[in-house]
Amino acid sequence: MDSKLTPQEFEVSKITNNLIKKSPVVWFLWKKKYNWPVEFVSDNVETVFGYTKDDFMSEKVMYSEIIHPDDIQRVQKEVISQSKTGTSSIIHEPYRIITKTGEIKWLNDITLIRRNKNNEITHYEGIVIDIVEQYNREKSLKESERKYKVLSEQFRLMSDNIPDLVWSKDLDGNFTFVNKAVCEKLLIAKDTQEPIGKKDMYFAIRQRKLYPDRKDWHTFGEVCINSDEVVLKTKKPQRFDEYGNVKGKFMFLDVYKAPIFDNTGKIIGTVGHGRIVTKEKEAEKQLQKQNKEYEILNKKYIAQNKELEIAKEKAEESNRLKSAFLANMSHEIRTPMNSILGFAQLLKDPSLKPESKNQFIDIINNSANHLLNLINDIIDISKIDANQMNVIENECKLNEFLFEIYQFFHSEVSRKKGQLKIVFKKGLADGNDVIKTDTTRLRQILINLIGNAVKFTHEGLIEVKYTLTKDKQLLFSIKDTGIGIHKKDLTVIFERFRQSEEASTRKYGGTGLGLAISKACVELLDGKIWVESQHKKGSTFYFTIPYKKGTTPKLEKKITIDKSADLFEGKTILVVEDDIHSTLLLEIILKPTKATILNAKDGFEAIEVCKKNANIHIILMDIQLPKLDGLKTAKEVKKILPHVPIISQTANAMHQDKQKSLDAGCVDYITKPINKKELLQKIAKYML
Ligand code: ADP
């Protein structure tokens, strides 16, 4: 076998050697001999094998000796088997060599089989490539592929086994990943592959189409802001509240979204995570609602507490006022009682001069009237509380009516030794002054207010006047130059038992009821009451009542009784009365009239007397009677003597009692304490 290359072949080899000198490819020309001695090798052999060109070409190093012992047999087999087939090249499976430094390197080897004219193999010529780097690269690629596969499998496993929603999208909003929860709970997709490359609206629309009649079936993607856009714009991770209906049920998602960047910093999509917090949100809502309710309750409690505090203060105040009232009351009762009892005793003195006697009687009378007024006030307050103050309107000539009251006070004021004057100014001309009102209440108001003016004014002027205002109100004013009222007391004095500081000292007396009663009466008449005052300068009390024009009142049969002597001679009067003192009083009053007096101590007795005496001219009937009360008795008596007038006499000044006695058949009533003049006038009115 000729082992030498022809000169041309050698020349080609040299050129090839020059060409590959700088590449990682080493070119070998092996002799077809035992151990594959090298006839030629490219200059760069040392970079791969560590051995020099000379080491090989001087045959110090034989090629088969540097092949890894584990690979040599396989390589030899490949050479032999390929050589036998007559092919011209052998592509070896990569094999290992051991370099001069002992390092193991993997090589790729492509060998051409050279033959002579007789087709005998003379040489092997091959390119050997160090595949360490490529191998490593491929290896690490495979490794990272394996790792990636493991990781993505793990991630899929993890994300498909959590209740939260996890997904990623590209820049156009197409899903690039979704977990099971997204498919099942939000998109209603077949599996985790279906959404890939599609947008969430695709699934929303698909759901809506399934239930066209139910607008609330799937509302996700409609009601909330486009959070993907927000994240892409801001390039920052963010949290969003996203909500809507899925399969007709409300769902609230707590969503975190973040942008995905590639390794150049460019945004390539978004990742998202959503937690279903519907229950929590509902609980939160409930809690907020409850909190609000608690807040309202709290405010209510605070207000209630305040109210309670005010009520407590009021209760304490009213307690204090009641104590003051009781003290006042005791004083107001004891003072006149003291006069009544004291002077009554003095009256017994036989040596008493007639002037003193008259003076004492006046004092007793005044004190008794004072007591009566006090009792009336207390009854009025009870009536106000019981809502039993009624309005009974009657026609009234206002000027005449006011003048009477004025006159009453005029005489009282004159007694203040001329330091005080009272004037009355009318607001309507006589004849034009007829009005309709409850004169009892109007009188009560005026007497209270003028009475106060007189009480609290020592000198100067009291002016009582009234005018008709444009809005058809009668505006009354009582102006005085008295002690005046502190500003702080201006409103409280209208409350019961309230008196200003000065007045509450014992100097003026009083119970603090007058203004409260007056206010109630004014309001009952549909009017208003107020006061203007300057301390130490004087006060003006105003009140209004609606102006109701009246017609001239019918003239009442007025009987003037100058003296009672022989007034009722020939007449018989039945006095029905259980109280012996009251009976005695009536007898004493009636005795000078020369009337025949019959007595009955209870209802049954009265009926008996009536049955026996048909000539009774009038009956004075007490209401509170033992056995059969006055009202029932009156009804029975009316059956026996239907034409005999009955006048009830009652200690109850309540309006109902008067009305009840009229209903029972009485013609009139007279209240106790009996006023002699009034009694005689009334008897005369109905009997004569
Ligand atoms: P009384 O006069 O019995 O105390 P009133 O209710 O009539 O009760 O009056 C309440 C309080 O109003 C009086 O105690 C007094 O302090 C004050 N007052 C009423 N009228 C006048 C007035 N004309 N001048 C000064 N104070 C007045």
CA of 614 to the centre of ligand 1 (A): 55
CA of 370 to the centre of ligand 1 (A): 16
Specify the ligand 1 atom closest to the Cα of 538: 24
The verdict on the CB of residue 493 being under 6 Å from ligand 1 is yes
The verdict on the CB of residue 481 being under 6 Å from ligand 1 is no
DSSP class of residue 687? H
The verdict on the CB of residue 511 being under 6 Å from ligand 1 is yes
pLDDT of res. 557: 56
pLDDT of res. 64: 94
pLDDT of res. 265: 93
pLDDT of res. 237: 95
CA of 526 to the centre of ligand 1 (A): 23
CB 103 within 8 A of CB 132: no
Specify the ligand 1 atom closest to the Cα of 517: 6
pLDDT of res. 12: 66
CA of 452 to the centre of ligand 1 (A): 6
List alpha helices for 86-131, DSSP H: none
Nearest CA to ligand 1 atom 11: 499
DSSP class of residue 373? H
The verdict on the CB of residue 246 being under 6 Å from ligand 1 is no
pLDDT of res. 313: 87
The verdict on the CB of residue 630 being under 6 Å from ligand 1 is no
Specify the ligand 1 atom closest to the Cα of 501: 16
- CA–CA distance, 525 with 448 (Å, rounded to integer): 16
pLDDT of res. 24: 74
Best residue among 449, 452, 454, 492 to mutate for probing ligand 1's pocket (most ligand atoms within 8 Å of CB) is: 452
Best residue among 381, 485, 491 to mutate for probing ligand 1's pocket (most ligand atoms within 8 Å of CB) is: 485
CA distances from 229 to 144, 203, 204, 529 (A): 33, 19, 18, 72
The verdict on the CB of residue 451 being under 6 Å from ligand 1 is no
CA of 446 to the centre of ligand 1 (A): 13
Specify the ligand 1 atom closest to the Cα of 456: 24
pLDDT of res. 320: 78
Nearest CA to ligand 1 atom 20: 452
Residues 6+ apart with CB under 8 A from 7: none
The verdict on the CB of residue 485 being under 6 Å from ligand 1 is yes
Q: What is the DSSP pairing of strand 529-534 with strand 460-468?
A: unpaired
The verdict on the CB of residue 480 being under 6 Å from ligand 1 is yes
The verdict on the CB of residue 444 being under 6 Å from ligand 1 is no
Average pLDDT per consecutive 10 residues, the chain (688 residues; last block may be shorter):
61 68 83 93 91 94 95 93 84 92 92 88 89 78 92 94 95 95 95 95 92 88 77 94 92 95 94 94 89 90 90 83 75 85 89 88 86 85 83 90 90 77 92 91 94 91 95 96 91 82 62 90 95 94 95 63 75 93 90 92 94 94 89 94 92 70 89 87 88
User: For residue 467, what are the β-bridge partners?
Assistant: 475
User: For residue 111, what are the β-bridge partners?
Assistant: 90, 126
What would the two tokens of residue 134 be?
């490529």
One DSSP character per residue, 346-372 reads HHT-TT--HHHHHHHHHHHHHHHHHHH
Specify the ligand 1 atom closest to the Cα of 502: 16
